[in-house]
Amino acid sequence: MLLEDLFRDTIRTLWAHKLRTFLTMFGIAWGIISITLMVAAGEGLKVGMTKQAESFGKDIMIVFWGRTSLQAGGLRAGREVHWTDTDHLAVQQEASACRQVVPELGHNLNVRSQYNNGSPSVNGSLPTFAEIRSLKVGEGRFYNWDDQARGRRVAFLGTNIKKQLFATRPVLGETIHIQGVPYTVIGVLESKNQDSSYDGWDVDKVFIPFSAMMRDFPNKPPLTSNVIDRLIVTPRSLAEHEECKHQVRRALGRLHNFDPLDKEAAPIWDTVKSAKSFSLLIDSMKYFLGAVGLTSLLLGGIGIMNVMLVAVRERTREIGVRKAVGASGKSILRQFFLETMMVALLSGGTGLAIAYGLCALVNLIPMPPFFGGLLPTWQVALLSFVLLGTIAVLSGLFPARRAASVDPIEALRYEAGG
């Protein structure tokens, strides 16, 4: 039988059993749709949560000061340690695995414009703080190294505090008074969705140069005026982040006489470690959802096998007649195997098209900040078709071999007796 005739005969056979063919194809298509949608949902959640986390800062560690839990250098445990305004310079020099080490000091202060006032958090740090903490400029600019060197009284406003102080009015070049001290507004933060914080949302803050912060608004007794709140640290690479953390504690331990192994003296919020744990959780969820979809696909493959076995039984006389007039077992096997592959691949392709179409439609809807939408990948499509092809081959092999092994005399006698 020519390949063209084989295809035509296969289509005619499938069309003659439309309902059975449809139900079989639906099982396979549903398996493909399940795998694609479930893995796409997992990928969308991962992308959305990653972007959300990066709005706080990418691969950063926040080093707080604490209280010693171990004795060191003849000093008792339980002693409070504090970082100072020059610690970042020594740590940066000693911690070769760390890319950036910047200080930060913040207070809730009275801030007023000629239109309104409030008590937001006013934070001072170095210009690189904007890059580290993902502070994108919406208007104007962030303060620079010249502002830091000269101790200029310039301010960068979060979007919410800008609205509170100025409503919809232009703000660049306007003057605000922080605790009565005049500062010039040079920029406004771009609106951001922040999923975590250690001292409040960035949109509610006022940011000023570190030098101006230490001069105008230092800590008050019982703390000394050179004490800061924390250090913000980034590793040179993800591979070096543990070494960076170790080097930071070692440098601070030398500066403040505590054991570098004393984690209570220098507690660290490690967002790198948190991101890895979250990524592992999401990947595990994707594998689980993919396994559920694969189960549906396997059940569809079993359905194909059952249907084709029924088809072999129903078409026993046809097989006997064809073999009696000279059809080889190989051609019979090829026909039934082709029917199985056509059902599987056609239903799989349809299922994949429907899944991608549903993803595109869903992605037209506004998504919550933590969800990136349904994001199917080419790897998922490739994996689906590899699995589908494997299942199709396995589910079609046994019925096809059974059809090819039918004895023509027995087949004709069986049908005649039936």
Per residue in 104-132, pLDDT tens?
999 999 999 999 999 999 999 999 999 99
Q: What is the mean pLDDT of residues 370-378?
A: 79
Residues 361 and 407 in one domain: yes
Domain count, the chain: 3
Task: Tell whether 261 and 301 lie within a shared domain.
Answer: no
Residue 59 resides in a domain? no
Q: Which residues contact 284 (CB under 8 A, 6 or more apart)?
A: none
In the predicted structure, residue 417 carries a pLDDT above the cut 50: no
pLDDT of 346 reads: 80
Confidence of residue 253 (pLDDT cuts 50, 70, 90): very high
Instruction: Quote the pLDDT of residue 290.
Output: 66
**Identity at 341, one-letter amino acid code:** M
Return phi, psi of residue 363, to 5°: -70, -10
Distance, CA of 405 to CA of 403 (rounded, Å): 5
Please name which of 59, 63, 90, 87 lies closest in space to residue 263, comparing C-alpha atoms.
Answer: 63
Ramachandran class of 359: left when φ > 0, alpha when ψ lies in -120 to 50, beta otherwise:
alpha
Pair 108, 206 in one domain: yes
Confidence at 53, pLDDT banded by 50, 70, 90? low
Instruction: Give the pairing type, strands 154-157 and 181-189.
Output: parallel
Last residue of a domain, one of 221, 244, 266: 266
Query: Could you give phi then psi for residue 144, rounded to 5 degrees?
Result: -115, -175
Pairing of strands 230-235, 137-140: unpaired
- Do 208 and 249 share a domain, yes or no? no
Residue 62 inside a domain? The answer is no
Ranges of H-type helices in 224-375: 241-256, 271-314, 316-324, 329-362
Average pLDDT over residues 202-225: 94
In-domain check, residue 271: no
27 and 80 assigned to the same domain: no
Distance CA 66, CA 258 (A): 11
pLDDT (mean) for 393-406: 66
Residue 254 and residue 294 in one domain:
no
Beta bridge partners of 101: 233
**Domain annotation covers residue 230:** yes
In this prediction, residue 314 carries a pLDDT of: 65
Residues 197 and 302 in one domain: no
Question: DSSP string spanning 10-22?
Answer: HHHHHHHTHHHHH
Residue 43 lies in a domain: yes
Q: What is the overall mean pLDDT for the chain?
A: 82
Q: How far apart are CA 200 and CA 213, in angstroms?
A: 18
Contact call for residues 93 and 246 (beta carbons, < 8 A): no
Better pLDDT: 81 or 319: 81
Per-residue pLDDT reduced to its tens digit, 134-179? 899 999 999 999 999 999 999 999 999 999 999 999 999 999 999 9
Residues 165 and 281 in one domain: no
| Predicted TM-score of the model (pTM) | 0.66
Instruction: Examine the domain organization and report whether 207 and 339 are in the same domain.
Output: no
Q: Is there a single domain that holds both residue 109 and residue 165?
A: yes
Indicate whether 381 and 408 sit together in one domain.
yes
Structural domain harbouring 348:
3-54+276-417
